[in-house]
Amino acid sequence: MARTTHEAPGCTAIVVGAGMAGLLAARALSEHVDSVVVLERDALSPTPRARRGVPQGRHAHVLLAAGQQVLERWFPGLTGDLVDRGAIAVDTRDLVWHQGGGYRARCDLGRPTLAMTRPLLETTVRQRLLRQCAGVTVVDRTPVDGPVVEDGRVVGVAIGFQEMRADLVVDCSGRSTQMLSALAREGFPEPDVSAIRIDMAYRTRVVERHDGTIDGSVAVAIDDPRQGHRMGVALPVEHDRWIVTLGSFHGDPAPTDPASFEDAARALPAPELAAVLASGDAQGTVQRYRMPTSRRRHVERAGRVAPGFVVLGDAVCSFNPVYGQGMTSAALQALALGECVGRFGPASDRLPATFYRRAARVVDVPWRIAAGGDFADPRTTGAKSTGTDLTNRFLERVFRACHSSPAVARQTQRVQNLLDPPSSLLRPDRLLRILLADRRGGAAERRSAVGVPPREPSVAPPQSVDRHAAELHRRMVLR
């Protein structure tokens, strides 16, 4: 059967995938093209609901501060919408973070953050996008078969026996995208791939949330990666629930039933996650997710790229999810895409290569952070950058310094939230703080070993999330 062709008047774009990367790409494009159609293979619900195309959607998710800034810029008032729908405004001074053998000093990141489920965030962003951008349409239950190539450029996508045409196609279909393989059959080489084998397994439980369960509003625990590499996080989310996610690496046994899940939480080096699990009734079963490798496609190195087509989000780089970088990386890539389209136009032959260079700069920092953390575990294999071991030895000192220095803890948190580059930790004044705090921490450990307890860092007591929700909402809005 012959294909039929549908062409829309004016300047058009097609986005493949309605996850966070696709929604943010559509928002970026809406400022520069007349029409954006987002095609999604899953059925999309008007209410927050996990779906097959986002297999990790049932697990704990974090939108880093840099990503929050982009979303608030594009969707003014989004924070208020999310809080109204049940998202929890969290003061960063209420973060309980155990790593490197001790608790980080409580510190103020300079802006609060939000805790919520991935489906709530995605649904709210999608609805705001459709209300705010008249030229954007989202079509669900529409799988894309591949790109349509004519005269050496992508001119649209194939959907069954039909074609939908556009000036630009943006592939946000995720790490398993088939679009690049289809283009390879048309003569465009597939990009080189850097892969890091982590064999990471996630397990998640949802439990009822009651005030005062733990001394803080978010808890993170990470053990020594050289001795097993397990981690856990507890996030307060809408409808008075906790999401508790545990992760293990390199084939370590992962909890698959409620009893073993609780045992694994108790085995972590801090008691908060086990306390959360014991504080309320569990809702549903233990959810599972597995990710064998982190993968980065070096689209910026491709010698020949297809005009009229770019990839974005996990299709460019899928990080180890324990670092919470995926959505923020996608937001920053979408921001770069919008700037490139505004400069060159969606149909420009110069657009793809220019965008890929910009996307590579976006990905470089979180990739180095995640890869460095992965290679702290000696079992990790794959694309290891020169200097990774030296960097990890320095970061061990940084994490120890975080135990006693709120200033070091705050700067470390800013780096992890992609607000500042890792090089900011090497400024002479900060480096001195790190070395002095690490030295104090080592002395405290030696005193503790001979029976002299270490002095606790001076920190303000945690604040109630509910009592400060209005103030946190006010501070969350971009200045």
Does any domain span residue 103?
A: no
Q: Are residues 367 and 426 in the same domain?
A: no
Q: What is the pLDDT of residue 441?
A: 60
Q: Clarify whether residues 315 and 436 are in a common domain.
A: no
Q: Report which residue type is found at 65.
A: A
Q: What is the pLDDT of residue 470?
A: 36
CATH of the domain at 320: 3.50.50.60
For residue range 264-302, list pLDDT tens digits in order.
Answer: 999 999 999 999 999 989 999 999 999 999 999 999 998
From 340, 373, 406, the end of a domain falls on 373
For residues 302 and 329, membership in a common domain is answered with yes
Same-domain pairing of 352 and 387: no
438 assigned to some structural domain: yes
Rounded to whole angstroms, the Cα distance separating 319 from 238 reads 26
User: Does some domain include residue 224?
Assistant: no
316 with 443, same domain: the answer is no
Residue 131 structural domain: 4-52+118-195+295-373
Last residue of a domain, one of 373, 391, 418: 373
Closest CA to 244 of 216, 282, 270, 215: 282
In a shared domain, residues 302 and 445: no
- Asked if residue 310 and residue 420 are part of one domain, the reply reads no
- Asked whether the beta carbons of 300 and 359 are under 8 A apart, the reply is yes
Assess contact for 12 and 318: CB atoms under 8 A.
no
Q: Given the structure tokens 């694994």, which residue do they identify?
A: 264
Residue 3: predicted pLDDT: 38
pLDDT at 442: 53
Last residue of one domain, picked from the residues 347, 373, 399: 373
Domain-embedded: residue 38: yes
pLDDT at 8: 41
Pair 386, 308 in one domain: no
Q: Are residues 311 and 348 in the same domain?
A: yes
Residue 219 lies inside a defined structural domain of this protein: no
For 446, residues 6+ apart whose C-beta sits below 8 A from its C-beta are none
In a domain, 435, yes or no: yes
- For 422-465, the pLDDT digits (tens) are 999 999 999 999 999 888 765 444 333 333 333 333 333 333 33
* Domain match, 45 and 157 both: yes
Tell me which residue of 215, 200, 198, 222 sits closest to 399, measured CA to CA.
222
Domain count, the chain: 2
pLDDT at residue number 92: 87
pLDDT value of position 212:
79
- pLDDT at 53 (0 to 100): 87
Distances 306 to 7, 115, 154, 183, 303 between C-alpha atoms, Å? 20, 39, 6, 8, 10
For residue 370, report the phi and psi dihedrals to the nearest 5 degrees: -65, -45
Q: Please count the residues of the chain.
A: 479
The answer to whether residues 310 and 445 belong to one domain is no
Give per-10-residue mean pLDDT for the chain (479 aa): 44 97 98 97 95 88 93 96 94 91 92 92 98 97 97 96 96 95 95 95 93 83 80 94 93 84 92 93 91 95 94 95 92 98 96 97 94 91 91 92 94 94 93 87 43 35 34 34
Paired sense of beta strands 168-171 and 309-311, if any = parallel
Q: In terms of domains, do 307 and 435 share one?
A: no
Q: Whole-prediction pTM value?
A: 0.88
Residue 222 within a domain: no
Is residue 43 domain-resident? yes
